[in-house]
Amino acid sequence: MAGIDRRSVLAGGLALPAVAAARAAVPADAEGEAYWRSIAAEYGPPEGVVQLENGNWGMMPRPVLQAYQAMVARVNRDTSFYARRGMTRDLIAARDQAAAAMGVKPQELAFTRNATEALETLILGYNRLRPGDTVLYADLDYDSMQDCMESLRGRRGVQVVRIALPEPASHETLIQAYAEAIAANPRLRLILLTHLSHRTGLVLPVREIAALARAKGIDVIVDAAHSWCQLDFDLADLDCDFVGVNGHKWLGAPLGVGFLHIREGALDRMDRHPANPATGRDDISSRVHLGTYDFAASLTVPAALAFQQAIGSRRRADRLSALRNRWVAAARRVAGIEVLTPDDSRLHGGITSFRVKGLTDVAANMRIAQHLLERHRIFTVHRDGIAGGACVRVTPALFTRPEDVDRLARALPDIVSSARRG
């Protein structure tokens, strides 16, 4: 059969030559701008606008896009001839590589189509709740996850408690907020924790909060949609039983890639998916049911991993933080700008949000994002749903240049005065 052979698929298909070329171009001062220019050259961001809204989903770098296109062509050409003769083996190999990259066992990871599917599986499938128990989430959690938690009222007959996280937050006040909620709710059984908030970029001390919860017999579900591959950590570092992740944000995999992580020993706390017969295998694959989907997207994961691993997770996280710190340092000197995300390096990655002091309504923040785009050619997005009020989110990517974030910093005084004028 013509096309990409299994070995090249597992190695990242068409990705490797290009990644190797990018690596070969790395100068001795690998942390320098020349290195990041070589990485940026693998992306093709839009021209004429500074793209600082990279939180919705991530751009695939060119080698990953090429691997995906080749895989789409193969799946389309060979259809069942591939599906019934090796595709499952290749999907398992791709899953195993992702598990190794996350620091979890292969049997603890399953593909999903996005983080929503993984987290919905966990929230709705968690079977230890009894009527009268309590579940808890926070204002910064993702809207559809909040809705899934709220749905447990009717599905499981539980009380649902929502807390507002402190603003400004500190490592201690965040842990304190959850410690107080745990103390105030003796029947608390389940907590949703968003590792890195899509609203403000705030990073929760998940490991510490989960330890407090575990001591009281409370389970934790972690939304790691924005943290994996933005921060430098392994899922194992979180020491949590249930995690939902996607691959199309910071891993740079094609749209339609997610992961469900259930730690060994925790499987029986999750219902089987009804489409998987009770007599079937009792492993993680029985907790989710994808049907026929974009197999080429999952099969491109090795290419995305190869690209990211060539950079390295420490170096990647440091770069994103450095870009963030560069504009935030300038923003903190602009009268009238309030940066919502703390500077404590444990509490942020690349994403950070700001607002013009006192302007907490959604419409004002939409206008600020609009003004940044129209007047300064900088693309950002407003975010709402935060107890302290709406804001503007700034999300750099690996192709973002220091001069891009400097342009944002220079625009901020004008943003303050135009926002105040209304």
Is the Cβ of residue 222 or residue 408 nearer to ligand PLP in the bound state? 222
- Beta strand residue intervals within 224-360, DSSP E: 242-246, 258-262, 337-339, 352-356
DSSP string covering 145-203: HHHHHHHHHHHH--EEEEEPPPSS--HHHHHHHHHHHHHH-TTEEEEEEESB-TTT-PB
294 binds ligand PLP, rule: CB under 6 A: no
Q: Which of 42, 108, 167, 223 binds ligand PLP (CB under 6 A)?
A: 223
Is the Cβ of residue 51 or residue 194 nearer to ligand PLP in the bound state? 194
Stretch that binds ligand PLP, among 110-118, 184-192, 211-219, 340-348 (CB under 6 A): 110-118
Is the Cβ of residue 114 or residue 285 nearer to ligand PLP in the bound state? 114
Instruction: Classify burial at 162, counting beta carbons within 10 Å of its beta carbon; exposed 0-12, middle 13-18, buried 19 or more.
Output: middle
- Other beta carbons within 10 angstroms of residue 171's beta carbon come to 15
Q: Which of residues 23-52 bind ligand PLP (CB under 6 A)?
A: none
Q: Which of 75, 225, 240, 306 binds ligand PLP (CB under 6 A)?
A: 225
* Helix-helix angle 143-156:115-125, to 10 degrees: 20
Binding residues for ligand PLP, how many (CB under 6 A)? 11
Distance CA 178, CA 303 (A): 39
Q: Which residues pair with 242 in a beta bridge?
A: 221, 262
Q: Which of 51, 54, 97, 114 binds ligand PLP (CB under 6 A)?
A: 114
Q: Which of 62, 156, 198, 287 binds ligand PLP (CB under 6 A)?
A: 198
Is the Cβ of residue 254 or residue 258 nearer to ligand PLP in the bound state? 258
Smallest distance, ligand PLP to C-beta of residue 397, A: 15
Stretch that binds ligand PLP, among 70-78, 98-106, 221-229, 375-383 (CB under 6 A): 221-229
Distance CA 62, CA 42 (A): 5
Smallest distance, ligand PLP to C-beta of residue 47, A: 25
Q: Which of 54, 66, 116, 298 binds ligand PLP (CB under 6 A)?
A: 116
226 binds ligand PLP, rule: CB under 6 A: yes
Give me the 232-271 binding string for ligand PLP, x by CB under 6 A, dash otherwise: --------------x-----------x-------------
DSSP string covering 369-395: HHHHHHHH-EE-EEE---TT--EEEEB
- CA trace torsion 182, 187, 189, 194 (10° rounding): -40
Nearest to residue 104, comparing CAs of 272, 278, 228? 228
Q: Which of 36, 82, 142, 228 binds ligand PLP (CB under 6 A)?
A: 142
Nearest to residue 149, comparing CAs of 191, 194, 209? 191
Count of alpha carbons within 13 angstroms of residue 278, beta-carbon side: 1
54 binds ligand PLP, rule: CB under 6 A: no
Strands 337-339 and 352-356, by their bridges, are antiparallel
Smallest distance, ligand PLP to C-beta of residue 199, A: 8
Is the Cβ of residue 51 or residue 185 nearer to ligand PLP in the bound state? 51
260 with 121: CB under 8 angstroms?
yes
Strand, coil or helix: what is 110?
strand
Smallest distance, ligand PLP to C-beta of residue 249, A: 7
115 binds ligand PLP, rule: CB under 6 A: yes
Residue with tokens 């006040």: 173
| 266 phi/psi in degrees, rounded to 5 | -105, 0
Smallest distance, ligand PLP to C-beta of residue 142, A: 4
Is the Cβ of residue 97 or residue 114 nearer to ligand PLP in the bound state? 114
194 binds ligand PLP, rule: CB under 6 A: yes
Dihedral sign (CA 385, 259, 318, 396)? negative
Stretch that binds ligand PLP, among 157-165, 223-231, 283-291, 382-390 (CB under 6 A): 223-231
Is the Cβ of residue 66 or residue 112 nearer to ligand PLP in the bound state? 112
Is the Cβ of residue 16 or residue 203 nearer to ligand PLP in the bound state? 203
Residues that bind ligand PLP (CB under 6 A): 114-116, 142, 194, 198, 223, 225-226, 246, 258
